C-alpha cells in the first residue's frame, strides 16, 4: 500500500474512494507498533495529498482520523522515557498528521516530546558485547601495503596471521 501511494498520486484518490482511509485509521489503533507505524505513514501520504487539493476526503473519515490522532497523542504523552524512545518514528508521524489536519503544532511538539535528547545518541554497540572486541579490531586493521622487495616472512614477524572465515 505504501509503495502504491508513494509512486502514483492517482492512487491516493482511489484509496480514499475505496475506503482505505477508514481501514488505515482503525489499523492506526493497533497494539502492534510496526502495523501502527505503517498505517500512520500511509495516512500521512493520503492526507498530504488531500491537503494539496489533489484528492477529496470524506468528512466522516477525517473526523475519525482526528479522534485517533488525538487519542494517540494522549497515549504518547503518558509513556515512560523508555517507551518514548521506542516510538520515535510514530511520534513524528502523529505530529505530521496533526499538523496536516489542524494546521497547528501538536501537543507533542509543544511539550517537547517530539524530539528527545536520547534520539541523537548513537545506538549501543551490541556486536562488541556479543562477539567481543575481535570483530571491531579486525575492522580497524590497516590495509596491507605491497612489499618493497623484502622477504614476506621477515616483514610479518611478530604479527599473528589474519584468519579469514574463523
Q: Tell me the pTM.
A: 0.65
- Is 42 a domain residue? yes
Q: How many domains in the chain?
A: 1
Segment 4-17 shows an average pLDDT of: 77
- Is 113 a domain residue? yes
Residue-level pLDDT at 144: 64
The string of DSSP letters for 88-123 reads HHHHHHHHHHHHHHHSS--HHHHTT-SS-GGGGSPP
- Is 158 a domain residue? no
- Is 136 a domain residue? no
pLDDT digits (tens, 9 = 90+) for 71-121: 999 999 998 888 888 898 999 999 999 999 999 989 988 888 888 766 666
Residue-level pLDDT at 94: 94
- Is 8 a domain residue? yes
Q: Which of 31-40, 122-131, 138-147 has the highest average model confidence (pLDDT)?
A: 31-40
- Is 144 a domain residue? no
Residue-level pLDDT at 132: 57
Containing structural domain, residue 40: 2-120
Find all residues with CB under 8 Å of 28, minimum gap 6, and list them: 36, 39, 40, 43, 65, 68, 72
Find how far residue 12's CA is from the centre of its chain.
22
Residue-level pLDDT at 143: 62
- Is 6 a domain residue? yes
Residue-level pLDDT at 3: 75
Segment 35-40 shows an average pLDDT of: 93
Residue-level pLDDT at 121: 60
For residues 152 and 166, what is the distance between their CA atoms, to the nearest angstrom?
23
Pairwise pLDDT comparison (15 vs 65), residue with the higher score: 65
pLDDT digits (tens, 9 = 90+) for 48-65: 887 766 555 566 678 899
Amino acid at each position: 500500500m505504501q509503495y502504491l501511494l508513494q509512486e502514483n498520486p492517482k492512487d491516493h484518490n482511489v484509496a480514499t474512494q475505496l475506503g482505505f482511509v477508514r481501514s488505515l485509521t482503525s489499523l492506526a489503533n493497533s497494539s502492534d507498533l510496526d502495523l501502527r507505524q505503517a498505517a500512520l505513514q500511509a495516512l500521512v501520504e493520503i492526507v498530504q495529498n488531500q491537503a494539496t487539493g489533489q484528492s477529496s476526503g470524506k468528512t466522516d473519515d477525517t473526523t475519525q482520523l482526528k479522534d485517533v490522532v488525538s487519542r494517540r497523542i494522549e497515549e504518547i504523552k503518558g509513556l515512560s522515557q523508555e517507551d518514548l524512545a521506542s516510538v520515535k518514528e510514530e511520534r513524528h508521524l502523529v505530529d505530521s498528521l496533526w499538523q496536516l489536519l489542524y494546521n497547528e503544532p501538536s501537543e507533542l511538539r509543544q511539550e517537547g516530546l517530539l524530539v528527545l535528547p536520547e534520539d541523537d545518541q548513537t545506538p549501543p554497540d551490541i556486536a562488541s558485547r556479543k562477539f567481543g572486541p575481535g570483530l571491531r579490531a579486525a575492522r580497524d586493521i590497516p590495509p596491507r601495503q605491497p612489499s618493497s622487495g623484502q622477504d614476506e616472512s621477515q616483514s610479518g614477524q611478530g604479527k599473528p596471521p589474519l584468519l579469514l572465515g574463523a
